Structure formats: C-alpha cells, structure tokens
Amino acid sequence: MTQNVDLPRKHLFDMPEGLIYLDGNSLGMLPKGVGARVAETIEQEWGQSLIRAWNSAGWMDLPRLLGDRLGRLFLNAPAGSVSVGDTLSIKVYQALTAAMKMRPDRSVILSDSNNFPSDLYMAQGLIQTLGQGYRLETVPADDIESALSEDVAAVLLTEVDYRTGRRLDADRITRAVQDVGAVMIWDLAHSLGAVPVDMTANGAEFAVGCTYKYLNAGPGAPGFIYIRSDLPDGVQPALAGWMGHANPFAMDPAYEPGPAAERFRIGTPPIVQMRMLEAALDVWDGVSMQDLREASLALSETFIVEVERRCPGLVLASPRDPQRRGSQVSFRFDHGYAAMQALIANGVIGDFRAPDIMRFGFTPLYIDQADVMAAVDVLERVIVDRQWDRPEFQTRSRVT
Amino acid sequence: MTQNVDLPRKHLFDMPEGLIYLDGNSLGMLPKGVGARVAETIEQEWGQSLIRAWNSAGWMDLPRLLGDRLGRLFLNAPAGSVSVGDTLSIKVYQALTAAMKMRPDRSVILSDSNNFPSDLYMAQGLIQTLGQGYRLETVPADDIESALSEDVAAVLLTEVDYRTGRRLDADRITRAVQDVGAVMIWDLAHSLGAVPVDMTANGAEFAVGCTYKYLNAGPGAPGFIYIRSDLPDGVQPALAGWMGHANPFAMDPAYEPGPAAERFRIGTPPIVQMRMLEAALDVWDGVSMQDLREASLALSETFIVEVERRCPGLVLASPRDPQRRGSQVSFRFDHGYAAMQALIANGVIGDFRAPDIMRFGFTPLYIDQADVMAAVDVLERVIVDRQWDRPEFQTRSRVT
C-alpha cells in the first residue's frame, strides 16, 4: 500500500553494492555529480585560474548563493537571509551571541537538557566568556514552555532530537518564546531535507544547521545560519571576520558588518566543500517536500511495524505518532552497541548512540520500501539468533 | 650568482602554461598529488565506506595528525601542540579568548594598527562580547614595545606584514610582552613555508595561521592553532565544540576539554579540505627551511635590484634589509591597481592592496630566478610603455 510513495532518485547516487544505508541522518550518501564538480574546481578553477578564480569562478559569492538556494529549497526563507559556512557549532555561537546582545537586560540561555551536546557546549563556552551573572538553564524539551520567564534572553532547541527522532512543535514553541520577549534559535540539523520547514511561517529570529546529513554534501560540509530579514541591522556579529565585512577588500581597520546574513561570514570559505554542497543540492531539483515527508513516514511506519513484530527486546524510543517524528526511528536495546556492530557486519548500516539507542535514518531519495524490508530481515536474524552476543561485536570504536 | 640556490620542485606542481605566478603568498599553486587524493577521499572513503570512514579512513584524527605534521615541518612544536581546523579568523578568536581568561585582571588587547584587518575585527568582536571595561588598543608595529603595560592581557601581531612583507623580530617582542606579564599571540599567516619559525625557541603562548598561502593547500584550506605545551590545562575554550571534548561520543551534557591542542577543535572537520592539506604537505618532504629561506631571499633581492633599475616610479615599500623581510616584496606606485591589471593581462600574476601597493610573493618551491627575470621584463614594459593607462585596466573588481 505504501510502495507507490517511493521517490525514484536512487540513480542519482553512488551506492556501494550490497549495502543498505540507514545512516544518512549522520552522513548522507555521495551524489553522483560531486566528484566531477570537485575535480573541475581543483584542476581548472584552482589549478589554472589560481587567485583569479575568486572573481572568475565566483568563489566569493558561494556562501551567499548557496545560502539563498538552501533558503529556497528547504527553509522558505527570502534571498539574503541565509549564509553558508564554517560549522554548525560556530553558527550556534553566532546566533547565541547575537541573541544575547539583542536582549542585554536578560541573562539566561534556555535549552533542552537532551539537546545535542555541542549546542550545550557552545552555550557553556559563551556563558563562561560573558562572565558572572549569565547562565545556561536546561530542562527536558517538554518543560521548555513552562520554564520560560522574562530572564530568558534566548531559547536554543533542536527541532528533531538526534537520539529519538522526536520532533517538536516548532511553531507553537516559537510563539511561546516570543511571548515572553525571548529570542528563538532553531537547530535544524535533523530537519533540512527530512521534514518540511517554513521559517517565514515560523517567525523565529534564527535558525542554524548542517549540510552533511540529509543534504548529502559530504564529510565536514559547511553549516548555515538564517536570520529573520527584519533583524540584521541591529546585529553586530561577535565573530567579526573580514569576509563578513561590508567591504572586505577595503582593508578598513574598523569592522562594519555586511548586508543581511552576509555579516555571519567569518574567514575564507572552504571552496571545495562549498562546491560539493552545490553539486549535492542538484539532486533536490523538483523534489516536493510534501512528497518527501510522505515517503519518509511510509518508510518509518513500515520499519516500526516490522521491527515490533519480529525483533523481541527492541523497545521503540521514537514517538509513535508520525507527526511527532523526524525522519529517523530509534529503538532501545540493552545490547544495542553489539547488535549494531552485528547489523553493520551484515551490510545494514545504522548507528548507535549511548547508552542504548539503535538509530535508523530514512532518506527517501535513496532508501525505498524494499530496502526497509530487507533491513528488517537482517535485524531479525541478528536479534533472534543472538548474533550480538559474539565476541567480535563487543569492542567499542570511537565513532559508531 | 644566485642561480644555484633555486629549489628544483617545479615538477611537483600543476603549473598553467605561460604564466608567472607571484601570488603564492595569497593562494598557493596546486600540488600534483592533490587531485588524486581528493578523488580517493570522495569516491572510496565517503562513497564506499560512508559513515564507517570516520574510523576506517582515520578522518577523526586528521586535525591532530595534520597539526603534528605542521608542528614538525614548520613550527618546531611538539606533538599535540597544534590543531588544524576552521579558519584563521576563528583561531585568532580562540587564542584571544583563551589569553583574556588567562589574565582575568587585565583588560587590553594590544595589536598593530596595520595588522591584517580580520585579526583586528575578531578582537573588536571579542571586546564587544566581553563588554564594558575591555578595549582593543592599536599602535604601529614599531611602537608595540613602548605601548606595553600591565593593563595588557594579550598582544596579537602578524610576524610578516601582509602589505609590505615587513618581518618583525618575533623573539625580542615575545620577551618584551612576557616581561610585562602579557600573553603573546603570533599570526603566522605569511610565515609558514616562507621563513623559518621556531615556536619552542620563541616561547610565545599561542600561534595561529592558515594553510592556503605558502603551504598550497587550496582555496579555503583550514587554519591552525598552536598552544605552548605547558598551558592547555588552564585553558577552557570559548568555542567549546563537541570535537574538542575529551570524549565526543560519550554525549556528555557537560563540556570537558580534550587533551592539549585538541581542545581547540570545534565542529565536524572539513575532511576533503583536510585531505588536500595532507597531500599538499607531501611536496615539503626533504626541504630544509634554511635552503628555502636562502632561495627566497635570492629571488626577492634579484627582483628589487631589477625593478629599481628598470621600472621608474615604483618605490620599494618592503624593508631593504633582507632579514627584516618575509618572502614577498611590495612596491608603491600611484597607478598600482591598473599596472597590476596590465601585468596580469600579460601573464604575470601579483596582487594589489589598497591604497597603492603592488605585491609580489616569492615561493621558491615553484618560482626560480629565470621566472623573476621574465617577470621584471614584463613589468618594465607595463611601466615604461604606460600600459597601465589603458582604459581596460581601470575597472576594479572586488578581489585583486
């Protein structure tokens, strides 16, 4: 019944033989066009044009043009409101510092105690830099609204939880945050390319994210930051790099921020990784985010039904209500680490997050219903045959 | 007489036909091994190993391993004291925030009023974030020592000036800075691969730099930060990203810094740009920095002598004393912008820095005495024939 919602885009990716990849929520697959784009960037643009390529190949404009493209494809954000660069953690710091300056009489950053650790760390680093009187307060995501007060300067939340795939009601929370006069910052790391996002409708001041997950831009692909278009004039960036200056090559000793989101550029952009993102975005041409969402939920529904039926001991850690899920499904399992190693050894790649979460990402551009059924077949054997008990699956590596 | 100091390494670079490239101080040339390394990283590591490559291809260790290699090749810095990542501007911010926390009773960042603008901007952004009572003070580089006082927490200087190529006496200045109890931060953007650097002998607390100039790692290649090895325990990074955590995958909600320079890692490293740096460093195998320095000075001496003899109107802006120069030579010329455009149109690439500086970088790995003589021949025609007066060379582009 759900077969027909598959999106026929597998042919746009280089897929390893015999592998079912359910980890595109961590590192997306390689789109076919990326290698050639990079070769051209290196051999022609860098190799032949050298320094002239900053103009002739348009390198200087990539952070803005890619930002505009993300805005159009995924964020419903106007041109000029998104800038691509650096990493998600840096973008979190930029949004947080800006928000604190916008509410100089307030002292609290409020976040989800289960937020992705790097978001919390960046907030901790900023609090320590700001000094006495400032603090980071964390509560479970469900308690955010009741923890709001007029001490809160900024609320930093990740829409889709990295462990459970739980999706927050972003529109309702943004309204509540803004009702107490605080600034809303959404981390969309697990949202872009996974669930429909509409920043214009949402109305939050800031959003940040990365591009190496569902956007398939490769390992260490750049992050992005969105700023609501009425705000930039009041925002003096804390990370005031020359590429964010109104006129970088005037070599003015005083910093003057560039227009709109351009002020969040910092140093020289990683051109090759920018070109990888550019090529990776081509696979999204003509994809409706509603179709994608429908395909994603069909995949995760099939997975949940089949795993619960065939894999005893695995307990659903994701919300059962599809509207409250992103594009991943997690199960708790006491032997989760070893079971995931066994699964990987059998050609099905998901990942593990401490303490006991087996995590499976559904990326409808290159995963279909047949893949999900095949993955559950393997998982069933791992569980029912107790493959996770074998010694070779017990040793922990640092990244899983 | 100087011919014999040329370093025979041209064969390791992909050099465009008919071009003399004197802009390697801005963006280095393409080493031949880079393209293949990148193709392997994309097609094999990412494409085939996918998420597993973080372990199997050693991605996770690249920031440390490349840092160690920079330390060994160029900085005389011990293993663990250098970390590669992000951009130079970010590394400046990390060093500055650390230095301010190391001297909590002091309020001044002191810098060169002619420092590279992004260094000054990052300091301005930090001062604004720290709030009332803190300030950035700038004086000409020659006045730094007399401007030192016990209010100064940190001194941020670029060893080799980006406009004039003037090289400071780093050892003497570091001693003077430390004598008043301030923290010394060296920006080595124009030093690494250009002049011998010895951080162990110098004794400064921090150094930062980039790798796209003399190190030829490509457009937007990562920056680096060095921290003196007795210091890390006292340093809580302001940009506290998960990759700098002691145990990133424990997903601990509280930040705990990793060992030594690893704590300056922030977000997910740009793996492809890291591999480009790795391949680019191969061309340095067996190069003695003393031989390189000798070759560099022989090139710049020839250039100065010939330009002063044959190009009327060009006034040397670089120090005449070779020991006080880096690996570039700058001339002031009223029509410098247009003259540089004319030069480029004739196949000799240097660059221009406002208001009137024509800048020429000497990169002995791929520039030899014959190139310098050929470049001066072209420059002489541009100047003597007043080619700079042609209308097509008047229009300014943003990057030159």
pLDDT in tens, A104-137: 999 999 999 999 999 999 999 999 999 889 999 9
Other Cβ atoms closer than 10 A to B65: 15
Nearest to B182 by CA among B96, B122, B113, B94: B96
Say whether residue A23 is in contact with chain B using an 8 A CB cutoff.
yes
Which residues does chain B have within 8 Å of residue A126's beta carbon, measured at their own beta carbons? 238
Query: Across-strand partners of B85?
Result: B223
> Is B315 in a helix, a strand, or coil?
strand
Q: Pairing relation of β-strands A223-227 and A315-316?
A: unpaired
* Contact (CB<8Å) B273/A274: no
Question: How distant is the alpha carbon of residue A257 from its chain centre?
Answer: 27
Say whether residue A267 is in contact with chain B using an 8 A CB cutoff.
yes
Q: What is the DSSP letter of A100?
A: H
**Which tokens in the block code for residue A96?**
């947080």
Q: Is the peptide bond before A104 cis (omega within 30 degrees of 0)?
A: no
Q: Report d(CA A332, CA A335) in Å as an integer.
A: 9
Q: Report d(CA A238, CA B123) in Å as an integer.
A: 9
3-state SS, one letter per residue, for A235-273: CCCCCCCHHHECCHHHCCCCCCECCHHHHHCCCCCCHHH
Say whether residue A47 is in contact with chain B using an 8 A CB cutoff.
yes
Interface pTM (ipTM) of the complex?
0.96
Q: What is the DSSP letter of A73?
A: I
* Contact (CB<8Å) A219/B118: no
Residue B399 confidence (pLDDT): 52
Q: What is the pTM of this model?
A: 0.97
Q: Which segments of chain A does DSSP mark as H helices, in order?
A: 34-40, 53-56, 62-70, 88-102, 117-130, 144-147, 170-179, 199-202, 271-281, 289-310, 336-345, 369-384
Other Cβ atoms closer than 10 A to A145: 17
Query: What φ, ψ does residue A352 adopt, rounded to 5°?
Result: -125, 135
Q: What is the DSSP letter of B57?
A: T
Report which residue type is found at B112: D
What is the DSSP track for B196-253?
Answer: ---HHHH--SEEEEESSSTT---TT--EEEEE-TT-GGG---SS--GGGBSSGGG--S
Would you say A208 and A184 are in contact if contact means Cβ atoms under 8 Å apart? no
Mutation target to probe the A interface, by most A beta carbons within 10 A, among B21, B25, B87 is: B87
Radius of gyration of chain A (CA): 22
pLDDT one-digit tens code per residue, B101-136: 999 999 999 999 999 999 999 999 999 999 889 999
pLDDT one-digit tens code per residue, B244-295: 999 998 889 999 999 999 999 999 999 999 999 999 999 999 999 999 999 9
Does residue B213 carry a catalytic annotation? yes
What is the DSSP track for B28-56?
Answer: --EETTHHHHHHHIIIIIIIIIGGGHHHH
Query: What φ, ψ does residue B215 adopt, rounded to 5°?
Result: -90, -5
- Rounded (5°) CA angle A176-A210-A259: 75
Say whether residue A318 is in contact with chain B using an 8 A CB cutoff.
no
Return all residues near B369 (Cβ < 8 A) that are at least 6 apart: B2, B3, B6, B298, B299, B302
User: Which of B212, B264, B303, B362 does the annotation list as catalytic?
Assistant: B212
What interhelical angle do A336-345 and A369-384 show, nearest 10?
120
Residue B4 confidence (pLDDT): 58
Q: Which fold, A3-30+288-393?
A: Aspartate Aminotransferase, domain 1 (3.90.1150)
Sheet of strand B108-112, all strands in order from the earlier edge strand to the far edge: B82-85, B223-227, B206-210, B183-187, B152-158, B108-112, B135-139
- Count, residues in chain A: 400
Does residue B187 carry a catalytic annotation? yes
Which residues does chain A have within 8 Å of residue B60's beta carbon, measured at their own beta carbons? 398-399
Q: Report d(CA A43, CA B39) in Å as an integer.
A: 12
Q: Report d(CA B65, CA B262) in Å as an integer.
A: 10
Of the candidates A38, A121, A236, the beta carbon closest to that of B38 is on A38
Return all residues near A188 (Cβ < 8 A) that are at least 6 apart: A75, A158, A159, A197, A207, A208, A209
Give the gap in angstroms from C-alpha B180 to the nearest C-alpha of chain A: 24
All residue ranges of chain B with pLDDT < 50 are 1-3, 400
Would you say A337 and A366 are in contact if contact means Cβ atoms under 8 Å apart? no
SS3 content of chain A, % helix, strand, coil (to 5): 45, 15, 40
Of the candidates B35, B59, B97, the beta carbon closest to that of A129 is on B97
Q: Report d(CA A280, CA A321) in Å as an integer.
A: 31
Which stretch of DSSP H or E encloses residue A109? strand A108-112
Give the residue extent of every domain in chain A. Answer: 3-30+288-393, 34-284
What is the CATH architecture of B34-284? Answer: 3-Layer(aba) Sandwich (3.40)
User: What is the end-to-end Cα distance of chain A in Å, rounded?
Assistant: 34
Q: Is the peptide bond before B270 cis (omega within 30 degrees of 0)?
A: no
* Contact (CB<8Å) B48/A16: yes
Q: Which fold, B3-31+288-393?
A: Aspartate Aminotransferase, domain 1 (3.90.1150)
- Give the CA count within 13 Å in the CB-facing half-sphere of A353: 22
Which residues does chain B have within 8 Å of residue A219's beta carbon, measured at their own beta carbons? 45-46, 53-54, 59, 268, 270-272
All residue ranges of chain A with pLDDT < 50 are 1-3, 400
**Which tokens in the block code for residue A303?**
């997975």
Q: Which segments of A41-135 does DSSP mark as H helices, in order?
A: 53-56, 62-70, 88-102, 117-130
Of the candidates A90, A236, A238, the beta carbon closest to that of B267 is on A90
Q: Report d(CA B32, CA A345) in Å as an integer.
A: 37
Query: Across-strand partners of A82?
Result: A226
Query: Across-strand partners of A360?
Result: A329
Other Cβ atoms closer than 10 A to A303: 25
Q: Report d(CA A75, CA A188) in Å as an integer.
A: 10
Residue A6 confidence (pLDDT): 79
Return the residue matching tokens 């107490």.
A180
Which residues does chain B have within 8 Å of residue A158's beta carbon, measured at their own beta carbons? none
Window 175-234 of B: residues touching A by CB (8 A cutoff) are 210, 212, 218-223
Would you say A106 and A182 are in contact if contact means Cβ atoms under 8 Å apart? yes
Say whether residue A134 is in contact with chain B using an 8 A CB cutoff.
no
Query: What φ, ψ does residue B101 adopt, rounded to 5°?
Result: -70, -25
Q: Report d(CA A100, CA A95) in Å as an integer.
A: 9
Does residue B32 carry a catalytic annotation? no
Return the residue matching tokens 């002191």.
B110
Q: What is the DSSP letter of B167?
A: B
Nearest to A277 by CA among A74, A15, A22: A74
The overall longest dimension of chain B from CA atoms, in Å, is: 68
Annotate A361-398 with b (16+ C-beta within 10 A) or e (fewer). Answer: bbbbbbbbbebbeebbebbbbbbeeebbeeeebeeeee
Q: Identical fold at B3-31+288-393 and B34-284? A: no
Nearest to A170 by CA among A182, A156, A152: A156
**Burial bucket for residue B181 (CB in 10 Å: 0-12, 13-18, 19+):** middle
Q: Report d(CA A340, CA A343) in Å as an integer.
A: 5
Query: What φ, ψ does residue A261 adopt, rounded to 5°?
Result: -70, -15
